[in-house]
Structures are given as C-alpha cells and as structure tokens.
C-alpha cells in the first residue's frame, strides 16, 4: 500500500499515465485543489465570524491549550464506557473549576466573557463535560445568583459554592412526572414554625426528582424546586438549598435517597440521578428568598416582579441558538471536506477517474442549503446574543418603579417569544444537519470514529430540554396571535413583529417583479416572508377568535388552534433567520459580501422552496416563479459549492476540535481513519473463542446429517465446463 506522501513524492520522478491519474485523484491533492479555488481571504472571513482578529486569536489559543491538555484528549473518546466517561469528565470538572476559580480570584487575566468563549469551545468537543460543569456554575450557582438574597449568597459562597471547596451543587427541578410543567412539581416544602425549619418531602413516585445532573456522584447540595406550604396554604413552587451528602465521605444524609439514572442516548459523562426526600429538615434560611420570603413567624411575602426571572431562561435559549450554529458548522466541516475527496463512480467522459461527491448536483443539494443555514444561524445567534446583553443591562438598572419599565418588559416579552421559536427551530435544524451530514458520509458515517453519530446522540437532548421544542413553538405562536390582536387594536409592535402593523399592505400582495429572475434578490425574499408570515399569523389569529366566539376559554382556544400556532411560529422563525442573515451580510465588507450573498440567497430561496405550499397558497409567488426558484436553488448550490471548502475552512475549527478523520483539514481521510481504527482496536487474544466458538464449530460430525449428503470433489467437477 502506498501512502499519500509517497504518491506525492513520486511526482518528481518519471510517471506513467496511470501514476499521474493516481496523484490527481489522491485525497490530499483533491483537497489542495479545492482550497486553491478560494475567491476570498479565508482569514478575513474567520475574523468576521469570530468578531475580530483578537477574538480569533483567543479562540485559537484556547483550542491549542485544550488539545495539549491530556485530560482533554479526544482520540479515545468514542471507546469509553459510560463509567469511564463519567470518571474522565469529573477530572475535567476539577480542572475546569480551577480555571473558573482562578478567573474569579483574578489569578488569570481572563475576563468572564473570555471564560464563556472557552466554555463554548469546550462544548464543541465534549458537550457532556460542558453540561456537567454547567450544572454547578450555570444552574446551581445561577440559581443562587438569581434567587438568593445577598446574605444567603455570601453564606453559600463561604461554604464553597464559588470555589467548589467543600461543596458542589446540583439543580433539582424536574421530577419523573413533571418536566415542562414546572408549576406542577409535587415535592413539598412545608414550613414547621415550631422548629423554624422546612420539611422537604417526596409524596409520590412521580414526585421523584429525576434527570438531576451531578446527583449520582458529584453533588453535596441541591437547589430543590418544591411547593411551598405555610400554615396549610400552598404558595407555588419555590427553590430551597438542600444538603444531600456529608462532604467528608459522600455518605447520604438522613432522609435522602439518591440513585443513578444510568445509561442515556448520549452525554454519558453526566452522572444524572434521581432523588427522593423523606421528611428532610432544613433551616428556614435555606429557602432562597430574593423574591418570595417566609419570616420566622410564617409570614409569606411575595414579590412584585415575577417576570425578572425570565432572564436565565433567555440566556439558555440564546446559548442554544449559538450552539446550534456552531455544532452545525462542525458537522458540515466533516461532511463537506469528506465530499471534496471521496470519489465514487467513473464516467466515460472522465476516462475512468471517479467523480468527487461534491461535484454531484445531488450532493450539492444535500449539503449546500445546510451550509447556508449554518451561516443564517450564526448571524442570528450573534445578534440574539447582543440583544440579550443589552436587555440584561437595561434590566440590571431597572427598579420596580422606573418609568420605562413597561417598555423594558415589552422588549423582554418579545425577545422571550422570539428566542423560544428560534431555540426550537435552530436545535431541530442542527439535529437534522448532523444526521444529513452523517448520511452524506455514506457507510462511514455509521462508524463512531467519524464523529457524527456521537454528535447526534449528544445533541439530541437539546430538542427536549430547557423547554420542549414543541411547547416553545406554541409559546412563540401564542405571542404572534396576541401581537396580531394588539396590532388590530392599533398598537405599534416591536421590530421583530412589526409586519403585523402592515397587514393592509401585505395581505393579498403578490410578487411584482417584471422578470422572473428578479425573485432572487434579498428584498423580494424578505418581502415574501413578510407577506406569508402576515397571512399565516392572521389565519391563526382568526382561527383563535372563532374559537373564542364559539365560547371556548382562552387556554382551550389556544390549544384548539395549536397546529396553526406552530405553523405560524415556524414560518416566522424561518423568516426571522433569513432577515438576520441578510442584515448581517449588509454590514459585511464588499470582498466578503460578494461571497456571502449567494449563500444568503440560497438560504432564502431554499426555505421558500421547502415551504412552497405557503407561498403558493397565499399567492405571493406564482407557480412559474416557484418553478424558477427550484431551478435557481440548483444553480446557487453549484455556486456555493465552488467556495465550499474555503467557507468551511473559515469556520476555523482545528483538527482536534473536529475530531473526525473524515473532516481532517489535509484531506488525507483514509489514512487518518485507518490509523484511528487500528489505534483504538489493537490486535488482542480472541475474547470468546474457547468458550463459545470452539465447542460450536467443532461439534461431533454425526450431530449434522445434512452436510454429508453430497460427495466431496464438487470443485474439481467444474472442469467439465472447460471449452
């Protein structure tokens, strides 16, 4: 077998035509040829995507630091059992926590923002670690920050909640019987005035705290969500810090029972557990009382501003939009690089040289729209993040009696609804992208080592956690209906839904281009989305109003038109993604804009084609225009394909981050793949020959009576066929 290197070296010698052909089709040479097509400065595109040169350099430093850290080694990752993975993950948590502590103690020069970036990079290689680490610093610590009084926060900080010295936290919200409906959790926290304690109790099997990350092996304390009961009266779900284990030996405290949830689809590095509480007593002060307070004498004081707790939800959703873009970029880097070097089927025209997958129109159709979508998610995620930070800044300084509070809350409501829909559709899109990329790698996509299978398994949870996607789409749809109704009453809506203020102009509007080719412009596509969204939202709004007229309660009416809500939220979210992408490239320097323009057009027209039913039903586009759009999407796939390798290169993920032989930058896919398979599966003794195979295939002959029916010598008798 000749290596790629040997083949390339052979160029310098005298070559036969067959040898020359072998070089032309070698994966490494194929990749070089693709890279040489770059019509733009790849480095500049990376700076644009990262938010500047310095951000890129920081990220590169982080990738290198992780790559060299043996605890973060990834080559053996796919072969770790659940138990090994959990132990490895705990090692990472220890190191990650030290970084975090150093950061807060100003032992490093890293800013909190840079630390977040570091976590974003880590999440790309090991989302299980990212989650396990996030259980303490994101969820437990976040709950303290959001719901503890300053005094309580200091108390838990003094116990080690910041440094993880003496305690580690987990977050016990979900129960076996209640996930999405947090208000319905059954665990009770009953105030016992005599002892000045709360009694935490699990009353039924379905009240068992379930899926609690870090509970099985890691946490000493939990923030527990439970029904507050004072003087026999229920006050709704509040949060309480409950000690779980003795930190000195990790024995369970009285009344606490914790079990391991065991094997999951993915993210097995997290030690999810279940917890039951049997009349567990905690001091009154362990209830987090920033909002609701319970006094020594059992007086309950409820907060004025429940809405402010939305902030944490919002942060999670924005992070998932960003993550969807990042993970999609990683999956696409693998599938597109592989397609640039994988060859299959020769045509006569090409003298027996097999065709690159990327040159097949159908393969372009499979991957280029997804590449365009990853850019759309990238630009949207970036803008959402900026919006989120601005909003949090305003909220931070807002007091309960501020004059602009209604406006701030209105903005919060809009961002909250928009982010709900985007979280849902972006995580669905990303999951679909991973699977499409896996299938685009053919059989090799099924190997664990090529990375896409594990990526799917790890990512899949994003569609159901932190708000089940379907429920989130319905929330977004509900907001659209209520915005529609407010607009009907003359209210001026926020920017994201302002098209609902222009229904008179938009309903019934048809595409008015003089030449069919003109549909392929950003302005026409943006208008097309506005018109279609206006129609579907109006349709949902009217359906809702019919339900109300027929005598239904509001909630029942919303349930009744849930399919229309979902459909409205879907089209609204797709239109929103397109518009953020289009906005984003308008701000881009000319050299890069000319490259991104066809990518953006492809995204816009592909999503129009994919939802052609709506555009035809509301007659914005004619059948002829839709037919043209189908052809134009083919053409744009070909255009984007031309720059596909430079574009995925601009994502700038190192080979370590990609962690897939099929996605290696040098294109030498087969050698890397073979080496990894050999390294991870070295020759060893047959594991069960003596026990299972030997006694089986060497049974006594007379046990079988069929094999002897025919005489030996059948092979020789073939010679009679000689001519």
Positions at the binding site: 174, 213
Query: Judged by CB, which is closer to a second copy: 123, or 450?
Result: 450
Max CA separation in the chain (angstroms) = 108
CB 632 within 8 A of CB 624: no
Does 253 participate in binding a second copy (rule CB under 8 A)?
A: no
Query: Which residue in 111, 145, 299, 306 binds a second copy (CB under 8 A)?
Result: 299
Looking at residues 16 to 55 of the shown chain, list those that interact with a second copy (rule: CB under 8 A): none
Query: Judged by CB, which is closer to a second copy: 445, or 496?
Result: 445
Does 159 participate in binding a second copy (rule CB under 8 A)?
A: yes
Looking at residues 458 to 477 of the shown chain, list those that interact with a second copy (rule: CB under 8 A): 460-461, 463-465, 468-470, 474
The residues near 397 (Cβ < 8 Å, ≥ 6 apart) are none
Does 508 participate in binding a second copy (rule CB under 8 A)?
A: no
Query: Which residue in 114, 163, 315, 488 binds a second copy (CB under 8 A)?
Result: 163
Does 671 participate in binding a second copy (rule CB under 8 A)?
A: yes
Looking at residues 367 to 396 of the shown chain, list those that interact with a second copy (rule: CB under 8 A): none
Does 2 participate in binding a second copy (rule CB under 8 A)?
A: yes
Q: How many CB atoms lie within 10 A of CB 74?
A: 16
Does 176 participate in binding a second copy (rule CB under 8 A)?
A: yes
Tell me 201's DSSP state. E
Does 586 participate in binding a second copy (rule CB under 8 A)?
A: no
What's the rounded Cα separation, in Å, for the pair 664 and 342? 13
Task: Select the span of 39-47, 125-133, 200-208, 225-233 touching a second copy (CB under 8 A).
Answer: 200-208
Query: Judged by CB, which is closer to a second copy: 484, or 673?
Result: 673
Does 710 participate in binding a second copy (rule CB under 8 A)?
A: yes
Q: How far is the CB of 651 from a second copy (least distance, A)?
A: 24
Query: Which residue in 30, 190, 218, 239 binds a second copy (CB under 8 A)?
Result: 218
What's the rounded Cα separation, in Å, for the pair 479 and 485? 10
Q: Verify whether residue 466 is a known catalytic residue.
A: yes
Looking at residues 416 to 435 of the shown chain, list those that interact with a second copy (rule: CB under 8 A): 435
Query: Which residue in 12, 263, 304, 549 binds a second copy (CB under 8 A)?
Result: 263
Of 110, 193, 410, 466, the active-site residue reads 466
The residues near 705 (Cβ < 8 Å, ≥ 6 apart) are none
Query: Which residue in 402, 407, 546, 556 binds a second copy (CB under 8 A)?
Result: 556
Tokens (6 digits) for 152: 């309580």
Q: How far is the CB of 86 from a second copy (least distance, A)?
A: 8
Looking at residues 73 to 112 of the shown chain, list those that interact with a second copy (rule: CB under 8 A): 78-79, 81-83, 86-87, 90-91, 94, 97, 101, 104-105
In total, the chain counts a number of residues equal to: 723
Does 279 participate in binding a second copy (rule CB under 8 A)?
A: no
What's the rounded Cα separation, in Å, for the pair 395 and 388? 10
Tell me 287's DSSP state. B
Query: Judged by CB, which is closer to a second copy: 54, or 675?
Result: 675
Q: How far is the CB of 672 from a second copy (least distance, A)?
A: 11
| Backbone region of residue 588 per phi and psi (left: phi > 0; alpha: psi in -120 to 50; beta: other values) | beta
Q: How far is the CB of 118 from a second copy (least distance, A)?
A: 19
Q: How many residues bind a second copy (CB under 8 A)?
A: 177
Query: Residue 389's closest CA among 51, 43, 153, 62?
Result: 51
The bridge status of strand 300-301 relative to strand 343-346 is unpaired
Query: Which residue in 348, 492, 549, 587 binds a second copy (CB under 8 A)?
Result: 348
Please spell the DSSP secondary structure of 93-121, one letter per residue. HHHHHHHHHHHHTTSSS--HHHHHHHHHH
Contacts with a second copy, 626-655, as mask; x by CB under 8 A? xx--x---x---------------------
What's the rounded Cα separation, in Å, for the pair 479 and 420? 10
What's the rounded Cα separation, in Å, for the pair 82 and 199? 35
Does 265 participate in binding a second copy (rule CB under 8 A)?
A: yes
Q: How far is CA 325 from CA 321, 366, 400, 655, in A?
A: 6, 18, 36, 18
Annotated binding site for FAD: 174, 213
**What are the start-end ranges of the H helices in 618-680?**
623-642, 644-651, 655-658, 669-680
What's the rounded Cα separation, in Å, for the pair 219 and 308? 28
Q: How many CB atoms lie within 10 A of CB 700?
A: 6
Catalytic residues: 466
């Amino acid at each position: 077998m000749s290596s790629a290197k040997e083949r390339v070296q052979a160029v310098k010698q005298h070559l036969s035509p067959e040898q020359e052909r072998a070089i032309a089709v070698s994966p490494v040479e194929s990749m070089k040829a693709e890279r040489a097509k770059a019509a733009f400065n790849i480095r500049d595109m990376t700076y644009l995507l990262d938010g500047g040169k310095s951000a890129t350099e920081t990220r590169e430093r982080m990738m290198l630091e992780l790559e060299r850290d043996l605890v973060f080694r990834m080559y053996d990752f796919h072969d770790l059992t659940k138990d090994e993975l959990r132990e490895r993950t705990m090692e990472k948590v220890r190191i990650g926590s030290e970084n975090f502590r150093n950061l807060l103690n100003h032992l490093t020069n890293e800013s909190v923002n840079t630390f977040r970036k570091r976590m974003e990079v880590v999440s790309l290689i090991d989302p299980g670690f990212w989650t396990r680490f996030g259980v303490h610093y994101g969820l437990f610590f976040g709950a303290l920050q959001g719901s503890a009084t300053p005094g309580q926060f200091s108390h838990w900080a003094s116990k080690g909640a910041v440094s993880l010295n003496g305690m580690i936290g987990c977050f016990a919200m979900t129960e076996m019987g209640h996930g999405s409906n947090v208000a319905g959790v059954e665990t009770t926290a009953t105030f016992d005035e005599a002892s000045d304690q709360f009694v935490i109790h699990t009353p039924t099997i379905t009240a068992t705290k379930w899926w609690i990350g870090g509970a099985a092996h890691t946490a000493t304390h939990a923030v527990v969500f439970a029904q507050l009961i004072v003087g026999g009266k229920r006050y709704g779900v509040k949060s309480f810090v409950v000690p779980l284990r003795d930190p000195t030996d990790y024995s369970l405290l009285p009344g606490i029972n914790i079990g391991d949830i065991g094997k999951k689809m993915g993210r097995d590095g997290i030690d999810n557990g279940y917890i039951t509480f049997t009349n567990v007593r905690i001091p009154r002060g362990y209830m987090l009382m920033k909002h609701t307070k319970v006094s020594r004498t059992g007086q309950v004081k409820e907060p004025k501003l429940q809405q402010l707790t939305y902030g944490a939800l919002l942060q999670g959703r924005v992070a998932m939009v960003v993550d969807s873009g990042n993970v999609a970029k990683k999956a696409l880097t693998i599938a597109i690089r592989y397609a640039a070097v994988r060859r299959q089927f020769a045509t006569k025209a090409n003298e027996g040289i097999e065709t690159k997958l990327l040159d097949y129109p159908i393969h372009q159709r499979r991957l280029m729209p997804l590449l365009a979508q990853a850019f759309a998610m990238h630009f949207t995620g970036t803008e959402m993040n900026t919006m989120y930070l601005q909003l949090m800044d305003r909220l931070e300084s807002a007091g309960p009696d501020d004059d602009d509070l209604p406006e701030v809350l209105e903005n919060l409501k809009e961002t909250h609804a928009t982010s709900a829909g985007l979280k849902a559709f972006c995580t669905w899109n990303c999951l679909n992208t991973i699977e499409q990329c896996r299938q685009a790698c053919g059989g090799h996509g099924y190997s664990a080592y090529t990375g896409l299978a594990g990526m799917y398994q790890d990512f899949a949870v994003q569609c159901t956690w932190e708000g089940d996607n379907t429920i989130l789409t319905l929330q977004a749809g509900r907001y659209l209906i209520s915005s529609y109704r407010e607009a009907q009453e003359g209210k001026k809506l926020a920017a994201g839904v302002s098209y609902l203020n222009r229904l008179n102009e938009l309903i019934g509007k048809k595409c008015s281009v003089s030449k069919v080719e003109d549909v392929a412009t950003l302005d026409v596509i943006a208008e097309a989305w506005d018109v279609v969204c206006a129609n579907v939202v109006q349709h949902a709004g009217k359906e809702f109003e019919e339900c109300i007229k027929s005598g239904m309660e509001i909630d029942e009416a919303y349930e009744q038109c849930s399919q229309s809500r979902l459909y409205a939220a879907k089209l609204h979210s797709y239109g929103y993604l397109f518009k953020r992408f289009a906005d984003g490239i308008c701000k881009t320097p000319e050299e890069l804009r000319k490259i991104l323009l066809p990518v953006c057009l492809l995204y816009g027209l592909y999503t129009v084609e994919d939802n052609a039913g709506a555009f035809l039903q509301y007659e914005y586009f004619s059948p002829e225009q839709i037919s043209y759009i189908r052809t134009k999407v083919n053409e744009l796939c070909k255009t984007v394909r031309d720059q596909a390798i430079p574009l995925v290169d601009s994502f700038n993920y190192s080979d370590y981050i990609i962690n897939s032989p099929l996605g290696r930058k040098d294109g030498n896919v087969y050698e890397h793949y073979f080496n990894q398979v050999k390294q991870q599966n070295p020759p060893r003794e047959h594991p069960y020959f003596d026990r299972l195979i030997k006694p089986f295939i060497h049974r006594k002959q007379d046990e079988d009576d069929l094999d002897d029916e025919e005489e030996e010598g059948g092979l020789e008798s073939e010679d009679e066929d000689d001519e």
